[in-house]
């Protein structure tokens, strides 16, 4: 499958932090979730893709083209949705419609109006009166109305109620249905990613720990609950990460069905993305 976004050895240095040689590929027609703690490098990665900040090394290609050399052209086909709104606070929906029509070559006025109606946004109010959730909905309407092919979402659903989040997730699934569009979705709400992501990339302290198909993580990873003696008898190659609790060991494994057969005396539960993150970050790795 063709790649819409290719990141190769991307590096950005700040005092006390370094995005360290990140390589990542987002296939066409895919939704990739980007997870990690605050400060792991998720927002930095997205800012580098849209050239909001300067990189220190590496390469970013969008639709096969360098993101800096072809920046103006590429931004016509990139939709950016954050949990904040950077438009002038005195703008109304009508003002935004006029301005965006001048910025984007493929601005779709009718789609924008349909989305504004779907999101129940007031046309006559100034943006500064909008709630956080309303501003996020507005960002989505703008991103989708200029026929983006790549959506970059930075905590974009964090200000939405569960019902609207579910509607947005459905919109994203529709967005990638024709397999020509893609989404890079940075979020702390891992349950959203469990619903719609095709791949999950995990950043930790500026480094990519893994990028795997979501189904592999959700349907195959597990957490073993066992005592000290059982843990001591486990093969080290079966262990992804582990931590000792007051009364048990919790062990992250990559093949919970196989582990359950191999160690029948242990309890093996499914691992959610939050569980996997927690054990990678707070646990120990062999």
What is the token pair recorded at 206? 């500026």
- DSSP codes, 108-119: -HHHHHHHHHHT
Q: Assign 20 to helix, strand or coil.
A: strand
Q: What is the rounded CA–CA span in Å between residue 53 and residue 106?
A: 26
**pLDDT at position 218 over 90:** yes
**pLDDT at position 1 over 60:** no
**pLDDT at position 85 over 90:** no
- What is the side-by-side order of every strand in the sheet holding 150-154? 78-82, 150-154, 182-186, 31-35, 199-204, 207-213
User: 88-128: per-residue pLDDT in tens?
Assistant: 989 999 999 999 999 999 999 999 999 999 999 998 899 99
**pLDDT at position 285 over 90:** no
Mutual orientation of helices 162-175 and 132-145 as an angle, nearest 10°?
A: 10
Predicted structure pTM score: 0.90
What is the token pair recorded at 150? 């790549």
Contacts of 15 (CB under 8 A, 6+ apart): none
Q: Which residue has the tokens 């957490």?
A: 223
């Amino acid at each position: 499958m063709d790649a819409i976004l290719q990141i190769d050895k991307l590096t950005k240095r700040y005092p006390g932090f370094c995005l360290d040689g990140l390589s990542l590929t987002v296939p066409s027609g895919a939704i990739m979730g980007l997870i990690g703690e605050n400060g792991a490098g998720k927002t930095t990665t997205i800012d580098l893709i849209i050239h909001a900040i300067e990189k220190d090394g590496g390469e970013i290609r969008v639709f096969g083209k360098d993101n800096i050399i072809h920046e103006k052209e590429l931004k016509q086909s990139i939709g950016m949705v954050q949990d904040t709104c950077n438009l002038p606070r005195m703008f109304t929906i009508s003002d935004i419609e006029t301005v965006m029509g001048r910025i984007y070559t493929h601005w779709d006025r009718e789609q924008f109006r349909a989305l504004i109606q779907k999101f129940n946004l007031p046309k006559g109010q100034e943006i500064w009166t909008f709630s956080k959730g309303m501003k996020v909905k507005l960002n989505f309407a703008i991103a989708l109305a200029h026929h983006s092919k790549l959506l970059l979402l930075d905590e974009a659903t964090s200000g939405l109620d569960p019902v609207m989040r579910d509607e947005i997730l459905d919109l994203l699934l529709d967005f990638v249905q024709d397999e020509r569009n893609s989404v890079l979705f940075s979020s702390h709400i891992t349950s959203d990613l469990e619903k719609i992501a095709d791949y999950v990339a995990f950043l930790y302290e500026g480094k990519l720990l893994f990028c795997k198909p979501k189904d592999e993580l959700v349907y195959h990873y597990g957490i073993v609950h066992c005592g000290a003696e059982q843990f001591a008898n486990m093969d080290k190659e079966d262990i992804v990460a582990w931590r000792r609790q007051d009364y048990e060991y919790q062990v992250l494994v990559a093949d919970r069905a196989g582990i359950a057969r191999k160690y029948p005396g242990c309890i093996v539960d499914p691992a959610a993305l939050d569980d996997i993150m927690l054990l990678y970050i707070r646990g120990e790795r062999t």
